[in-house]
Each structure stands twice: as C-alpha cells, then as structure tokens.
C-alpha cells in the first residue's frame, strides 16, 4: 500500500486484524490547522475498512491504541492565551467516549493498556520537577497525582491500581546511573546501579509485571527483572541507537499485549557525527522483533531504500504481525 505522506505518520493495531494509520496530508508541516488523514485497514488483506479526515492545531496531536479497538487521541489546541492539551478516548466507530484536559509533555500507557502516566516537566526553586498523574485508560479519571521533586529523567508506570513507577535517574556529580521502582505513596528504592560513565541506563519500562526493558546510552540494551537482575544483554553495532518515537517513551504499540514480544526501530548515526541521540543525525536502518521467552531475535526487516523520514512501527496485540510505514509505503509482515 502507498499513500502520500508528509513528515508525520503514526500507526498502531487496534486489534490483531485492524491497523490504523494517521498521517499528515499537508504539503508542509507548517500548515495551520494541520490536515490529518486516518485509514483503518484489514491487516490481513490491506483493504480499507474506513477512513476519516481530521483537523489539528499542531503536529503535537497523536494517538495510542488502548484495548478492544479503542484509541486515545492527544491533541494540542490553541487557546486564548496559550496551547491547551486535550485527551480523548475514541470508540471503534470513531465516537468520543471520554474527553479531558491533559496538561502533559508525555503520555505513556502501561503494558496492559489499563492505565497511563501523564507527566509535565516544569521548573521548581531547586531545579526541575515532574507533575505526574496516573490515569485510568477506560474512564480517563485520575487515580493518583504526585510531584516528582527530583525531576527524574524518565518515568513509566506498571499497570492498574498497583501503580508502580519505574524511573531512570543520574544523580548529579554521582558518576552513576540508577533505575528505581516506587510504589505510590512510598519512597522509591534503587534496583539497579551502573557506574559505567559510557553506558548509563536511559529509559526503562515494564514489558510484563516482572520484566523490564532497559535502553542505555550505549549500543547495549538489557532485559531485567523487577528486582534488578539482568537476564539478557543485547549488543548492537557501535554507531547504532534504538530510535524512540517522539510521542511517548516508550511506545506500547510496539509491544505485544502479553509483553513477550516487542519491536525495535534501530537507527545508525551518520558518519562523522557524534551526537548520541540526535534524531536529525540518524537514519533508520532496520526493525527487529525480539522474544523474551527465548531471549532471541525472531524477525528482522532491513529498510531499503533508506528512509527520508522516521518510519512508523507497530506490533499487533498477539505479536504475530509487524507493520512498518516508511516514506508513504506500508508493509505488514507475518511473524511465526
């Protein structure tokens, strides 16, 4: 399948057989309002089940599948004085089931899609802080709100009302990187520490209730238990990085619902450039699917020709289909 695409595209499986694609149809991303088109496809045949056109005030709008064919639409709207962040839950027939304000810089769904974390970074008298809400993904009601005074680098949430936070931090002048887990209402406890200045943990998130994926600031990613035991380390080429999407850290749409399979978009830094994580200086090279039971890579797709824009990647809820949308072309792969 091929569609005209500007510099913005997102995809995600609403269920094992239904794939949604959102892309910018304007000639330039500077267009205001932004024109978006969404296509809902049968992932087995590629046939279009339905289509819808959207208007957004900025490219800050994005979607995330939840459960049972529903999806979240996070949008930035122009207010009288400033931008207003809104979050809407849509049904499979594109009706708004719930809507609320969502003053956040990031939205991360839990691995079960039952809860989400909204975080907004702001300055405090002592530096930076995160104002955090844990929200029920079905009702959009706030379960818990707290302020992270440490301004931790990255936070994700483990599902439902257990409400465990996992975070990566790099304490100032400490020469180490840490991963900690926090039960709501209790102080965090450190489960993993790295003193390798060239390989700090950068992001960590739950794949299952006891398995964490850890992305590091070096070409090695980890699988780790919730107690901090490293059960697998996967080394990439020295100039490779895991290419995270701009919408969330991480993207649950790239993980099967049971957390046993996940897809990674791997990019390579351009020759002569040393920026660790500058997206503008990297080019997506390949997509891999990894199985946590066997602890091995079970699928790889090398992107050819190399893309001009960041490809969008999604893994089906059952982990048996991988979708890649690159430079306006969609491919869906069956995975055994």
Q: CA nearest 290: which of 268, 269, 259?
A: 259
R_g of the chain computed on alpha carbons: 19
Which of 21-25, 168-172, 173-177, 290-294 holds the top average pLDDT? Answer: 290-294
- What are the tokens at 336? 């055994």
203 within 8 A of 262, measured Cβ to Cβ: no
Confidence of residue 277 (pLDDT cuts 50, 70, 90): very low
CB contact set of 28 (below 8 Å; sequence gap of 6+):
6
Torsion sign, CA atoms 283, 313, 105, 5:
positive
CB contact set of 120 (below 8 Å; sequence gap of 6+):
103, 104, 105, 130, 131
Give residue 202's Cα distance to chain centre: 14
Give residue 279's Cα distance to chain centre: 15
pTM of the model: 0.84
- pLDDT score, position 320: 95
C-alpha 163/C-alpha 145 separation (Å) is 11
Q: What is the mean pLDDT of residues 39-55?
A: 91
**Environment class of 69 (CB within 10 Å of its CB; exposed 0-12, middle 13-18, buried 19+):** middle
Main-chain phi, psi angles of 261, to 5 degrees: -130, 145
pLDDT tens track for 74-105? 877 666 666 678 889 999 888 999 999 887 76
């Amino acid at each position: 399948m091929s569609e005209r695409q500007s510099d913005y595209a997102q995809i995600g499986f609403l269920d094992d057989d239904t794939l949604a694609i959102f892309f910018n149809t304007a000639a330039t991303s500077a267009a205001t309002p932004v024109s978006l088109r969404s296509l809902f496809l049968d992932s087995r045949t590629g046939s279009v089940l339905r289509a819808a056109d959207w208007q957004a005030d900025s490219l800050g709008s994005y979607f995330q599948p939840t459960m049972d064919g529903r999806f979240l639409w996070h949008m930035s709207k122009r207010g009288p004085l400033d931008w207003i962040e809104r979050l809407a839950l849509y049904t499979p027939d594109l009706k708004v089931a719930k809507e609320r304000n969502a003053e956040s810089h990031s939205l991360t769904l839990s691995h079960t899609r039952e809860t989400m974390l909204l975080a907004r970074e702001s300055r405090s008298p002592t530096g930076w802080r995160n104002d955090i809400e844990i929200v029920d993904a079905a009702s959009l009601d706030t379960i818990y709100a707290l302020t992270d005074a440490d301004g931790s680098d990255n936070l994700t949430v483990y599902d439902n009302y257990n409400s465990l936070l996992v975070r990566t931090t790099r304490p100032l002048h400490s020469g180490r990187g840490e991963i900690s887990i926090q039960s709501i209402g209790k102080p965090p406890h450190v489960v993993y520490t790295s003193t390798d200045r060239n390989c700090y943990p950068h992001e960590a998130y739950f794949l299952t209730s006891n398995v964490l994926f850890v992305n590091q600031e070096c070409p090695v990613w980890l699988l780790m238990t919730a107690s901090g035991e490293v059960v697998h380390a996967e080394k990439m080429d020295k100039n490779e990085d895991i290419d995270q999407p701009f919408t969330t850290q991480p993207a649950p749409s790239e993980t099967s619902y049971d957390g046993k399979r996940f897809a990674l978009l791997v990019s390579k830094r351009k020759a002569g450039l040393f920026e660790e994580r500058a997206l503008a200086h990297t080019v997506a090279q390949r997509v891999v699917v990894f199985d946590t039971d066997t602890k091995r890579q079970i699928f790889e797709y090398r992107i050819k020709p190399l893309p001009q824009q960041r490809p969008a990647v999604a893994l089906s809820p059952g982990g048996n289909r991988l979708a890649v949308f690159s430079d306006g072309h969609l491919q869906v792969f069956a995975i055994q």
